[in-house]
Chains A and B, each alone.
Chain A
Amino acid sequence: MIAFDEQTAQRVIADFPILARPTSRGKRLVYLDSAATSQKPNAVIDALDTYYREYNANIHRGVYEIAARATDEFEAARAKVARFINAQPQEIIWTRNATEAINLVAYSWGAHNLHAGDVILTTEIEHHSNLVPWQVLAERTGATLRFIPVDGRGELILDDIDRLLEGVKLLAITHVSNTLGTITPLERILPKARAAGATILVDGAQGAPHLPVDVRALDVDFYAFSGHKMLAPTGIGVLYGKRALLEAMPPFLAGGDMIRKVGYERTSFNDLPWKFEAGTSNIADAIGFGVAVEYLEALGMDWVRAHERDLLSYAFERLAPLEARGLAIYGPKDPARSSGVISFNFADIHAHDMASILDTEGICIRAGHHCTMPLMDKMGWSATARASFYVYNTAADVDALVEGLEKAARVFKL
């Protein structure tokens, strides 16, 4: 039996107003889709409200009081997010989301550092956001893509990693698979990539929300993540980049805020991080992101990780009896190697039918290819159902999922 920290969990639940709202069928909302986007705590919702009600103003050049406050809060949020991943504030570039952060690297760093014949190494488990930008870049520069293969359990095969890394200019790899929950063994791959002279980008969209992240200890060059998957609003994300690399990179978008001196013919660019933040930023949501990471820090990322591991262990235990009746669980099935995601199919119930049936019980899961079509094709799955956990989930949600699966079995007369 797993010892949950039920007390903390109940306190966390009370911070998320949406979880207290029953569905239209009068069911308790059982939210198991945090890998798509997380719910937001009162503290974050209130921070947006306070900004708009009390000090809404544009930042950086305002001389009046509320503009100064907006600028201070905006930059304080950057400092909070920097501290959260052990970076410097100048190394935190605000973007819309992880996808834009990855594209920033592809366009700015990629277009100037990649040439015909260069090799980009990535993996077979990437989200489209960490695959398609590199396909586009390869197409444009004449570089080629190479893949670290995945095995049937969803884990990367590293037997050939030394050969795969030969001559690699860029390694673009996810921290955690959003489809399978697999935590990629960065500690085994990155030192080798470093030794091989590769520049390293980690897609942290599923890493930063769920695992303690220290970009210095990991020694990554770039780390991309989205606020909305870690309690912050939508529309705000981060590119972390090592300062020297960012200094050497040309701006991505041009316009206001990213300049130092503009003449009619020539312009000099602003310092980091503003060089990469053209135009008016997403001020409110950046401030909300700062509050979200404070919330996670107060819980402690070790608690977050331990809580999700407990939930996974409990879920595997509760789901095991259903395997004899046709439940197939994909991915590592080992809470130590997996972050809060369970991908599954149940007998001949299609994932979309499963999601519809669970919806009638207030249970929110995702069904489909999870933006990893090549992985699905390789595994021979047309679709999977995916339940994903976060800080506000408890054993009761796992129990609800198991009951939901029993209901689906009844509906489909399994």
Chain B
Amino acid sequence: MDDFYRDFILDHYRNPRNQGHLDAPSASAEDLNPLCGDRIRMELDVRDGVIRDVRFSGQGCAISQASASMLTESIKGMRLEDAAKLSKDIVLENVGIGISPTRMKCAMLGLRVLKSAAIGEIAGWPDEE
């Protein structure tokens, strides 16, 4: 697990991309991981079915925050309906290394919130689908 924390992960943790809020998001969602209290909010600017812009906010461990930060970069320009169908693979590809089962929920929190925003209701945990 200690090899998870490579330079680019720490960079996303300490310098998160697309952090903050949108003036008038067209979709948003927020959730927390009740086990550890990690919290993430995602706000989307969707036009013509395409995610034009995204902001996230929240607090938590390096795994949850870096995964969310990387996810925001992956989804800009993506069709909303495709974002709604994303699987855990996108997160695993982004972090590029195995995540221990006890920390999987941390990694998946951002994706779960994104999918909730995309479908307009609370999505399931991507690692359980």
Chain A residues within 8 Å of B, Cβ to Cβ? 348-353, 356-357, 359-360, 367-369, 373, 376, 382-383, 407, 411-413
Contact = CB atoms under 8 A, between A and B. Distances in A.
B113 to A, nearest CB: 17
Contacts of B63: 352-353
B61 A353 contact: yes
A413 B35 CA distance: 27
B129 interface: no
B14 A353 contact: no
Given A350-B62, A356-B103, A382 B14 contact: no
A349 B14 CA distance: 10
B37 interface: yes
A290 B84 CA distance: 56
A346 to B, nearest CB: 13
Contacts, number: 52
A308 B5 CA distance: 34
Nearest to A376: B37
B46 interface: no
A338 B13 CA distance: 34
Nearest to A360: B2
B37 A356 contact: no
Nearest to B39: A382
Given A350-B62, A352-B61, A412 B5 contact: yes
B10 A413 contact: yes
A369 B37 contact: yes
A356 B100 contact: yes
B36 interface: yes
B60 A350 contact: yes
B24 interface: no
B103 A360 contact: no
A5 to B, nearest CB: 34
Contacts of A407: 2
A82 to B, nearest CB: 37
